């Protein structure tokens, strides 16, 4: 931790977002860091080069721009070090590759982001690593699944698309007792609303593509490790040659400055809409951890400081043969909600969730599952749009 980080520790999250990462005095007082485009870094003489005795040595190993972002993320996560990678998915695959070897067994939550599952079931399988999926509600019971060769336990809470909560502390303690490293995809909450390292996680993973970017125009991942795993993480990223680009790093740092107030708005609007949906006859269930009716609500209340703007609901339909017709009619009637992947941007999005990959955390029954990302628009306008969707869904299956 730098002197400045230590001094900033006393401040609230928005003050820290405004002041962590980069010191204007380092660059003539300019408020933001320069965007340093670099492969080659020159050394003043052969001896310095031989000993690599200067702060920067090559573009893949960091620049003042990427350092500014990593410093800000470390301050948020409470981590010993952060690496930048080109996407949120790479923020999963890079630490996994550093942690496991042929013959290892890993435990991954069944409600995991689907491309993480795909990476485990294809690439890791090919490398001789066995992945076992576990129930998100397992808690300390994960001890029973630990084997002598279990090297990694991966969490994601809330789960992708269905938002199952996990008892992070209980799982991390059991995993450590069995000698495994603990990673967590914390993209939904951001480190503003949940700090994985404070709950025993070793490596916190974030798709900065979402809320830190905030504008649906940047792909980037951050991976933040505690003291124990930082040497492994930095060695892995250098070995693989995977690094973040300077323009993207600059934009993510820029996004962080306003992330706190954007998150407040996402949270407030999403909760208003979730509660409005709960009161409707054509909605069977709303899957949002901050709702009292949600199964994992007590864990969310105990461990998290807030909720973001993504959640799902079950559009009531008794006939499974009509699920798609009804969901498509709903989605096609939306004008403000775009149909697109990802989330965390300023604009609202909707899609029908596919959960055929699940083996334990099965899809809710009683209708298609629709995921909403609530953007920064005005709530009455979004509700009007959803009302049009419900009307169209009703008429598509009536008669």
Residues that bind ligand PLP (CB under 6 A): 87-89, 113, 156, 160, 185, 187, 207, 209, 219, 221, 342
* Element containing residue 276 per DSSP (H, E): helix 246-278
Q: List phi, psi (to 5°) of 307.
A: -130, 150
Which is it for the CA torsion 279, 285, 286, 291, positive or negative?
Answer: positive
Residues constituting the chain: 399
Q: How far is the CB of 160 from ligand PLP (least distance, A)?
A: 5
The Cα–Cα gap between 38 and 34 comes to: 12
Token code pair at residue 250 = 């600059």
Q: Which C-beta is closer to ligand PLP: that of 221 or that of 289?
A: 221
Q: How far is the CB of 115 from ligand PLP (least distance, A)?
A: 7
Token code pair at residue 122 = 């294809």
Q: How far is the CB of 57 from ligand PLP (least distance, A)?
A: 28
Nearest to 171 by CA among 200, 191, 130: 200
Burial 263-300 (b: 16+ CB within 10 A, else e): bebbbebbbebbebbbeeebbbbbbbbbbeebbbeebb
CB 296 within 8 A of CB 156: no
CB 172 within 8 A of CB 200: yes
Q: How far is the CB of 26 from ligand PLP (least distance, A)?
A: 29
Please name every residue paired with 81 in a beta bridge, in sequence order, or none if there are none: 225
The Cα–Cα gap between 41 and 63 comes to: 10
Q: Which C-beta is closer to ligand PLP: that of 193 or that of 390?
A: 193
The Cα–Cα gap between 229 and 266 comes to: 33
Q: Which C-beta is closer to ligand PLP: that of 185 or that of 202?
A: 185
Q: Which C-beta is closer to ligand PLP: that of 117 or that of 326?
A: 117
Q: Which residue is nearest to ligand PLP (CB)?
A: 88
Q: How far is the CB of 179 from ligand PLP (least distance, A)?
A: 26
Q: How far is the CB of 281 from ligand PLP (least distance, A)?
A: 30
Q: What angle do CA 309, 313, 315 make, to 5 degrees?
A: 145
Q: How far is the CB of 113 from ligand PLP (least distance, A)?
A: 4
Q: Which C-beta is closer to ligand PLP: that of 80 or that of 218?
A: 218
Q: Which C-beta is closer to ligand PLP: that of 64 or that of 214?
A: 214
Q: What angle do CA 140, 142, 144 make, to 5 degrees?
A: 110
Q: Which C-beta is closer to ligand PLP: that of 79 or that of 209?
A: 209
Token code pair at residue 139 = 């808690």
Q: Which C-beta is closer to ligand PLP: that of 90 or that of 333?
A: 90
Q: How far is the CB of 297 from ligand PLP (least distance, A)?
A: 20
């Amino acid at each position: 931790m730098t002197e400045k980080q230590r001094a900033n520790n006393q401040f609230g999250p928005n003050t820290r977002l405004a002041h962590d990462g980069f010191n204007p005095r380092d660059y003539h007082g300019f408020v933001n860091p320069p965007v340093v485009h670099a492969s080659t870094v020159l050394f003043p003489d052969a001896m310095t080069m031989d000993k690599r005795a200067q702060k920067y040595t090559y573009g893949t190993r960091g620049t003042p721009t990427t350092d500014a972002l990593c410093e800000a993320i470390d301050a948020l996560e409470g981590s010993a070090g952060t690496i930048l990678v080109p996407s949120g998915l790479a923020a999963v695959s890079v630490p996994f590759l550093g942690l496991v070897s042929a013959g290892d067994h890993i435990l991954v939550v069944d409600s995991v982001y689907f491309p993480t599952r795909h990476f485990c079931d294809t690439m890791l399988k090919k490398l001789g690593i066995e992945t076992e999926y576990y129930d998100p509600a397992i808690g300390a019971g994960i001890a029973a699944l630990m084997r002598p060769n279990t090297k990694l336990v991966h969490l994601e809470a809330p789960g992708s698309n269905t938002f199952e909560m996990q008892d992070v502390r209980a799982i991390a303690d059991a995993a450590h007792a069995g000698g495994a490293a603990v990673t967590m995809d914390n993209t939904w909450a951001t480190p503003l609303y949940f700090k994985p390292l404070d709950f025993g996680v070793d490596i916190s993973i974030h798709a900065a593509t979402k809320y830190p970017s905030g504008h649906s125009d940047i792909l980037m991942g951050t991976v933040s490790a505690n003291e124990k795993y930082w040497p492994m993480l930095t060695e892995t990223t250098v070995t693989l040659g995977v690094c973040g680009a300077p323009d993207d790093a600059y934009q993510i740092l820029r996004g962080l400055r306003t992330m706190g107030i954007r998150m407040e708005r996402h949270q407030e609007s999403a909760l208003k809409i979730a509660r409005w949906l709960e009161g409707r006859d054509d909605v069977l269930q709303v899957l949002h951890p901050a709702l009292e009716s949600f199964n994992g609500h007590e864990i969310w209340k105990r461990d998290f400081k807030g909720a973001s703007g993504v959640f799902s609901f079950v559009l009531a339909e008794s006939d499974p043969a009509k699920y798609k017709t009804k969901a498509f009619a709903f989605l096609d009637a939306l004008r403000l909600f775009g149909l697109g992947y990802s989330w965390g941007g300023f604009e609202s999005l909707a899609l029908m969730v596919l959960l055929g990959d699940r083996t334990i955390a099965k899809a809710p029954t009683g209708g298609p599952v629709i995921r909403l990302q609530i953007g920064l628009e005005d709530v009455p306008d979004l509700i009007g749009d959803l009302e049009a969707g419900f009307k169209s869904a009703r008429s598509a299956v009536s008669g």
